[in-house]
Structure 1
Amino acid sequence: MKAFTVNRYEKKSALTLADVSMPELHDDEVLVEVYAAGVNLLDAKLRNGEFKLILPYRTPFVLGHDVAGKVVKIGRNVRQFKLGEEVYSRTDDFRIGTFAEFVPVKEASLALKPRNLTMEEAASIPLVALTVWQALIEKAKLTRGQKVFIQAGSGGVGTFAIQLAKYLGATVATTTSTGNVAWVKNLGADIVIDYKKDEFDNMLSGCDVVLNSQDGKTLEKSLGVLQPGGKLISISGPPDPAFADQIKAPWLVKQVMRVLSFGVRRKAKRLNVDYSFLFMTASGSQLRQITPLIESGAIRPVIDKVFPFEATNEALAYVESGRAKGKVVIKVR
């Protein structure tokens, strides 16, 4: 089959379009014919080698985490899915590979595609939706009436997070550039800060939750907009000791994570707020909870561009540029 592979870890290096063997199907997996694949910043960071500490992939490997497609083969222990069904998923770590014509997906990580979405729209959902669900619902336990600050409101995570937070009844603050202010408000944001004109830490205070997706400087400033007892959940690092325990990291890796997060944890403690790191995990059961919100229209996919399969490198470069409004998708079939 055709697939785009990472042959070596290198920043901004091109993926290689190659003929690779059909993936081996485990007993608890479904083979999905890929119709569309979402492109995420995680894909670029993985190719760059930024996650080798926690995700040490051996090259060459096929890149890509999000998929929408059809079931073409079923492992002997699979019970929930049938041949021909339309499905979507964020594939599991170490079983990724959606920039390809076929990909195996664990039954537990798969869900039926929302009926009202195209394959391209469905492929834009899983990784960002699960990230936001696990951050705002599982970790933050965001509730009606609370105030949440979601950074980068026009990005893939931001566009989904704004919609979910509004559905939950929260007051939503976010940042974006001048040209996107009205567009982000239309998604449901109550407070939109133009980062080209204003510093968000001068404009915000009393937040219950911050979803951090930016750099270390932004993270430090974000701690200060929380009220005492507030929670900052970071999806961009640094990883903390609790995360090291979660992934059962070796002793040395645990110590590295402890050192990397020491400064932000110390500042959080001084401000009487909570800091935690989130690296989202695949979950078909959570996708099945998200699907009704999409089918009801409470949350809608936001897609910037759809690239043909042959232009996968261009799609990845566009995501890495930071210019995308919402998600970027590759049309494979």
Structure 2
Amino acid sequence: MPAHTMRAIRLHEFGGPEVLRHEEVPVPEPGPGEVLVRVHAVGLNPPDWYAREGMPDVPPELKPPFHLPLTPGTDVSGTVEAVAPDVEDLAVGEEVFGLLRFPTSLQAGAYAEYVAAPASDLARKPVSVDHVRAAGLPMSGLTAWQFLIELGHDHPSPFQAAPHRPMALDGGTTVLVNGAAGGVGHLALQLAKWKGARVIAVASGGHEPFLRELGADEFIDYTKVRPDEVAHDVDLVLDAVGGPDSRRFLRTVKRGGALYPVYFGAFDDEENARLGVTVTATQVRSNGAQLAELGRLVDAGTIRVAIDSTFALKDAQAAHERAARGHIRGKIVLTA
């Protein structure tokens, strides 16, 4: 059993990376349906810095409940240390990874040496995959999977009335991935290729060799040309950047095609209908079963998780500073 205390990253006020503190706190107790995980690595994701900032741009009705002091982090890879009596599928000593409590909580507490995790959010880590890469997979991999392959839940999106239904991908499909070098983008590219699609990758020029290696059939350097002006007759755009500028990709999509903005922007339903383009998005959710499928693909070498950089847990502030500089290739990971 672990000691009674552990080291964790907490914030007592909202703000920049400087509010992240490395502190000694109690080890959590696993509740019903949970296991205690000894953390080996933690993946960084945009919700981590949104939580750190207090989500100032999100309407109050859309904010999940969270309070200070807060230990951020949802993506974890580690070893099961203890198991609640009602958990039957996992045992002490097994290596697991998962996206914890998302999107219902922004304080799942993964930036720590131990974390209490719902067993249903976890999958067994393949032996061939190290903890760093396993920790980089959950949120980004599940986002790509739920947008492109299988939604896997019936929770409505807070941003739209229509349910998201992934388009079937095959050898006759052309997919454009905007933000292809980032966490979601580089995994979405590989999943589309796994399904046989032709993939156009959009990123800055320095990422071209990396994305070609992952299987991109065509590359567009957005620093030299506007991708929405040079790409045409695309079946599907996955815009991993999203936001207000996502609407510009409507012109690249053929009638009957679709545009999936990962971060939803402002769209006109009448314009979408006139162009014959389906615009839908979803909110990624924890799903241990889907994560197990992704793990099998990584284990088989079908997809790989690229690591931009790693930092020790105590250096979480530096990791957030790295994230703020942008142009991330793959994932940033903390090691505990």
Among residues 91, 95, 117, which one is paired with 2:100 in the alignment? 91
Q: What SS is found at the alignment partner of 2:314?
A: helix
Q: Per the alignment, do residues 264 and 75 of structure 1 end up closer, same or farther by CA in structure 2, a change over 3 Å counting? A: farther
Aligned-residue offset at 1:265: 3.5
Higher helix share: 1
Aligned AA (2:169): T
- What is the number of equivalent residue pairs in this alignment? 309
Give deviations 1:207-251, integer Å, cap 9, x for gaps: 22211222534301112211122222222124xxxxxxxxxxxxx
Q: Is 1:231 aligned to residue 233 of structure 2?
A: no
Among residues 143, 146, 163, which one is paired with 2:169 in the alignment? 143
Q: What SS is found at the alignment partner of 1:20?
A: strand
Give deviations 1:57-95, integer Å, cap 9, x for gaps: 112211011100000010111111010000000111326
Q: Is the 8 A contact 2:255 2:275 kept in 1?
A: yes
Distance 1:196 1:2 in 2: 42
Give deviations 1:99-140, integer Å, cap 9, x for gaps: 001111111110000221111111111111100000001232
Aligned-residue offset at 1:194: 0.5
Which runs of 5 or more residues in structure 1 are unaligned?
Answer: 239-260
Among residues 292, 296, 300, which one is paired with 2:300 in the alignment? 296
Partner of 1:124: 136
Partner of 2:89: 80
Equivalent residue runs for 1:179-328 within 5 Å: 179-238=206-265, 261=266, 263-328=267-332
Aligned AA (1:142): A
Q: What SS is found at the alignment partner of 1:325?
A: coil
Among residues 16, 19, 23, which one is paired with 1:18 in the alignment? 23
Distance 2:24 2:242 in 1: 37
Aligned-residue offset at 1:11: 4.5
Moved more, 176-185 or 79-88: 176-185
Partner of 2:203: 176
Partner of 1:55: 64
Q: Is 1:111 aligned to residue 123 of structure 2?
A: yes
Q: Is the 8 A contact 1:140 1:209 kept in 2?
A: no
Identity %: 32
Aligned AA (2:46): L
Aligned AA (1:76): P
Distance 2:230 2:319 in 1: 35
Partner of 1:247: none
Distance 2:144 2:242 in 1: 18
Distance 2:16 2:310 in 1: 23
Q: Is the 8 A contact 1:69 1:86 kept in 2?
A: yes
Moved more, 211-220 or 292-301: 211-220
Q: Is the 8 A contact 2:242 2:261 kept in 1?
A: no
Q: Per the alignment, do residues 22 and 115 of structure 1 end up closer, same or farther by CA in structure 2, a change over 3 Å counting? A: same
Partner of 1:243: none
Partner of 2:33: 28
Give deviations 1:171-209, integer Å, cap 9, x for gaps: 111211121112211111111100111110111122222
Which runs of 5 or more residues in structure 2 are unaligned?
Answer: 1-5, 151-164
Among residues 52, 65, 77, which one is paired with 1:68 in the alignment? 77
Distance 2:124 2:149 in 1: 22
